[in-house]
Amino acid sequence: MKQHEREYFVSRIRSGVYYISINDKLIYVRSPTLEDEYFINEKFKQQYDKCLDEGLKTEDETVEWMRTRGLWTQKDDEREIGLEKDIERLKKEIYQNRHRSQLREQIRLGIRAGERQLGQSLEKKSKYFSNSCEGIANLAKVSEFFARCCYHNDSKCDIDELGIEFISKKYYNMILTEKEIRELSRSEPWRSIWVLRDSNAYNIFQNRDTQPTPDQKSMLVWSRMYDNVHESGEAPSDEVIDDNDLLDGWFAIQGQKKKDQAMESEIDDKLTNPKIANANEVFVMADNKEDARRINSLNSLQGQVLKKKRFNQIKAQGVVTPGQMEDERIEMGNISHQQYKDKFRS
């Protein structure tokens, strides 16, 4: 994005207004007041309750209906979960390989491919959502929003005359993507404006008396996010911060570290239990495969080698009773040998 483009989008976001040209008429959509927002959400609730009373399906029930007709299967669920995990794994890998340009760009292509496939999966899943309680209620909510917030020459517009589908398409196409918001949030001219946010003599947004627009909300979230990144004790380089994929990988790795630290702390708390404090081995139950992986990673290298040897012995023999593990027999032999030596020393 060029400098003049950033300046344009930042000024538009700060104004709190979206201008739309329709049939030589300049329509503007302002953000709702708190009262407007209440009535907009009230419209959703009323329509949703009405749909429930009429026996229409919710989104969850629509998915179950799709299952009964083979339109959405367990394989689709597994594929969706698998794609999400693959994308997160690739984002970690692109950060870990950030200095290997060729491999980094190959991984980036993999991320884009995974995102496209996930988008197709979600689109398939939501194909029938427009006829659900949530879908119909959301249409009523959108209509109420434009009826309250759409103006021409300081007068509210006739939404029926404009056409709800037409005006909503124009409006939502103007809302910036996450990629665009992130670039604006970390760049000039916004960064200088953001620094002045606490000044009483300076308003970063013009619409202080109404709710923030979708773009304003996103700008606030990402601006604070970038502040937190810069203030982190393990802050990445500017090169990483300016690359969305690399920064997402950094986020993923930092998040994993926190989970691992929490898991380690939880296990340490269990080990302080006087009943097991002096135990040579402690078994910890995992809720899922990911937790099992993290618990296993807390074993020392020696413990992991020992675990693998025991697994191979059980696999080879089928059943191994306590005391028959090879490492236990070696340990018992060492103890007996030491006792024998101590006996003659005394």
Within-domain flag for 3:
no
**Residue (of 64, 198, 56) closest to 132 by Cα position:** 56
> Which residues of the chain carry a pLDDT beneath 50?
none
Q: Which DSSP category does 204 fall into?
A: S
Question: What integer pLDDT is reported at residue 324 of this predicted model?
Answer: 64
Question: What integer pLDDT is reported at residue 24 of this predicted model?
Answer: 82
Within-domain flag for 270:
no
Question: What integer pLDDT is reported at residue 70 of this predicted model?
Answer: 96
Within-domain flag for 61:
yes
Q: Which domain does 335 fall in, by range?
A: 300-346
Within-domain flag for 258:
no
Within-domain flag for 161:
yes
Output the CA–CA distances (angstroms, integers) from residue 131 to 127, 160, 177, in the order listed. Answer: 9, 21, 26
Question: What integer pLDDT is reported at residue 278 of this predicted model?
Answer: 58
Question: What integer pLDDT is reported at residue 330 of this predicted model?
Answer: 65
| Predicted TM-score (pTM) of this structure | 0.77
Within-domain flag for 183:
no
Please give the full DSSP string across 212-229, using - where no structure is assigned.
PPHHHHHHHHHHHHHHHH
Question: What integer pLDDT is reported at residue 163 of this predicted model?
Answer: 87
Are the beta carbons of 159 and 167 closer than 8 angstroms?
A: yes
Task: Decide: residue 254, CB within 10 A, 0-12 exposed, 13-18 middle, 19+ buried.
Answer: middle
Within-domain flag for 118:
no
Distance, CA of 95 to CA of 149 (rounded, Å): 43
Q: What is the number of structural domains in the chain?
A: 2
**Which residue, of 174, 207, 239, is where some domain finishes?**
174
Question: What integer pLDDT is reported at residue 261 of this predicted model?
Answer: 80
Within-domain flag for 341:
yes
**Residue (of 183, 188, 176) closest to 214 by Cα position:** 176
236 three-class SS? coil
Distance, CA of 340 to CA of 334 (rounded, Å): 10
